[in-house]
Amino acid sequence: MSLSYEAICAFLYREARLLDDRDWDTWLTCYAADVTYWMPAWDDDDQITEDPQSQISLIYYPTRDGLEDRVFRIKTERSGASTPEPRTSHNVTNVEVLAVRGNEVDVRYNFHTLNHRYKVTDQFFGTMFVTLRTTDGETLISAKKIVLKNDYIRQVIDVYHV
């Protein structure tokens, strides 16, 4: 059973809203245990890196355990980069279904995130490549690749920026 376009958009909008609401525990439930969450870096030839095992990444978690640890640090104020927590506004646009394979759907969409902290507003924008997997009526993100287009950033990048 494949997801409708409307259901895909609703899922993506909800995930973005959970980040804006700082509802960390519910946000984690959007991700499969075996999710790969990856934000490659740009190399000197203006190409994104292709191997998180041997090249630099801005963020790389091979499973949800890394996301859970990140959320733990944010919630317990053990992350100096996240204290105080910023106010964010995530915008999701140009949602495209790229492929459907059984219970998985590959989706591409653009994002624009505004981030306000210490009286300064920064913005992050780029393209997401997400695989949504539906099992027993539950849809989860099983892979997420984030291509950050404004990679020259003046702060530590975190999961809530994208």
**Tell me, what's the pLDDT at 81?**
58
Averaged pLDDT score across all residues of the chain: 91
**Tell me, what's the pLDDT at 155?**
67
> Is the four-CA dihedral 81, 82, 87, 88 of positive or negative sign?
positive
| CB neighbour list of residue 91: distance below 8 Å, 6 or more residues apart | 16, 111, 112, 113
- Classified as helix, coil or strand, 13 is helix
pLDDT single digits (tens) 63-73: 999 999 989 98
pLDDT single digits (tens) 104-148: 999 999 999 999 888 888 899 999 999 999 999 999 999 999 999
Q: Counting runs of H as helices and runs of E as strands, what totals does the chain give?
A: 3, 6
d(CA 157, CA 159): 7
The model's confidence at residue 44, banded by pLDDT at 50, 70 and 90, is: confident
| Percentage of the chain exceeding pLDDT 90 | 70
The model's confidence at residue 2, banded by pLDDT at 50, 70 and 90, is: confident
Write down the pTM of the prediction. Answer: 0.92
From the candidate CATH numbers 3.90.1010.10, 3.10.450.50, 3.20.20.70, 3.40.50.1860, the one assigned to the domain spanning 5-161: 3.10.450.50
What residue segments make up the domains of the chain, in order of their start?
5-161
The model's confidence at residue 19, banded by pLDDT at 50, 70 and 90, is: very high
**Tell me, what's the pLDDT at 108?**
98
